[in-house]
Amino acid sequence: MINDILDLDRYPIDREGSPEWQQLVDDSIAALKANGMFNLEGFLRPGVAEKAVAEIRPVMDTHSHVHKRMHNIYFKPQIPELPQDHPALRKVETISHTVCADQIPGSTVLTIYEYQPLVRFLAATMGKSQLHVMQDPLARANVMGYRAGEALNWHFDRSEFTTTLLLQAPERGGDFEYRTDLRSDDDPNYDGVAKLLEGKDPEAQILRIKAGTLNVFRGKNTAHRVTTVEGERERMIAVFSYYERPGVMFTEEERIGFYGRAA
């Protein structure tokens, strides 16, 4: 059954410890090191992304949470060492629609999220002894929808890694744009951040991925955004949250902040 969803012939994540499994882990680690990400194109078998979208569309159309806000690249009201008018604090707008895990029980997306060989494979690529699915009934896996005029604007991630699965690409726009290592743990590079926000950083790159691609991305110090979607087709992407410790929950405040409801 999972073999009908994931292309386990191409990506043998179910054969843990085999030479072909180890090769995939090694290739993924090498890509993470070189590019700050790896992509498993065709991770979903043909037709599966469309099926997953069909499962989610009714709730996305009627019960998704619209998140619309102005924010700076840090998602923080202020940075103590910067004046409020510093160009690194320029505000940008993010608009998206979110479907939470509790709204899509039994879906293909949740089946993939909970598939233990995937969790173990991801842990191996990240050099962790174990990863765990999140316990939070809302936050564990989300599907984000971006419609015409909507975008996820420039930011750094809070988490070390982000795992996403693109379910549907838009007709135009909705590209993943990133600037590798714009800052480091030791150097916030505020002038570089300002330059990027002014659209003057020649090192910003665009990645176009196909539906059915699994992407693992290190976004803590690599600034990134999803450009504005154009056209009729919604960009739909599943976002999977895994943690090193079991039982992780959001606080009620976080759930309200991200999803507009506590439960």
Residue 51 CA: distances (Å) to CA of 48, 153, 166, 203, 244: 5, 28, 13, 37, 31
Q: How far apart are CA 104 and CA 56, in angstroms?
A: 7
Size of the site for Fe ion (CB under 5 A): 2
- Do residues 13 and 44 lie in contact, with contact meaning Cβ atoms separated by under 8 Å? no
CB closer to Fe ion, 28 vs 241 = 241
157 binds Fe ion (CB under 5 A): yes
Binding span for Fe ion by CB under 5 A among 15-23, 98-106, 152-160, 163-171: 152-160
* Closer residue to Fe ion, CB minimum distance, 28 or 96: 96
Which amino acid is located at 109 in the chain? V
Give least dist CB 162 to Fe ion, A.
6
Smaller CB separation from Fe ion, 39 or 108: 39
Closest contact distance (angstroms) between CB of 62 and Fe ion is 26
The nearest distance, CB 83 to Fe ion, in angstroms, is 26
Candidates 219, 223, 235, 242: give the one binding Fe ion (CB under 5 A).
219
Judged by CB under 5 A, the stretch of 16-24, 29-37, 157-165, 173-181 that binds Fe ion is 157-165
Of 45-53, 56-64, 151-159, 175-183, which part binds Fe ion (CB under 5 A)? 151-159
Which residue in the shown chain puts its C-beta closest to Fe ion? 157
Which of 154, 164, 230 lies closest to 199 in space, CA to CA?
Answer: 154
Q: What string of DSSP letters covers 103-124?
A: GSTT-HHHHHHH-HHHHHHHHH
The whole-angstrom separation of Cα 69 and Cα 246 is 31
Which residue number, 36 or 219, has a Cβ lying nearer to Fe ion?
A: 219
Q: Which residues in 58-77 contact Fe ion (CB under 5 A)? A: none
CB 237 within 8 A of CB 143: yes
Closer to Fe ion at the Cβ: 85 or 208? 208
Closest approach, Cβ 188 to Fe ion, in A, equals 18
* 192 lines the binding site for Fe ion (CB under 5 A): no
> How far apart are alpha carbons 108 and 135 in whole angstroms?
18
d(CA 167, CA 250): 25
Q: Which lies closer to Fe ion via its Cβ, residue 157 or residue 201?
A: 157
SS (H, E, C) 44-95: ECCCHHHHHHHHHHHHHHHHCEEEEEEECCCCCCCCCCCCCCCHHHCCEEEE
177 contributes a contact to Fe ion by CB under 5 A: no
Instruction: Provide the token pair at 69.
Output: 């806000």
CB of 243 to Fe ion, least distance (A): 16
Q: Whose Cβ is closer to Fe ion: residue 195's or residue 218's?
A: 218
- Contact footprint for Fe ion (CB under 5 A): 157, 219
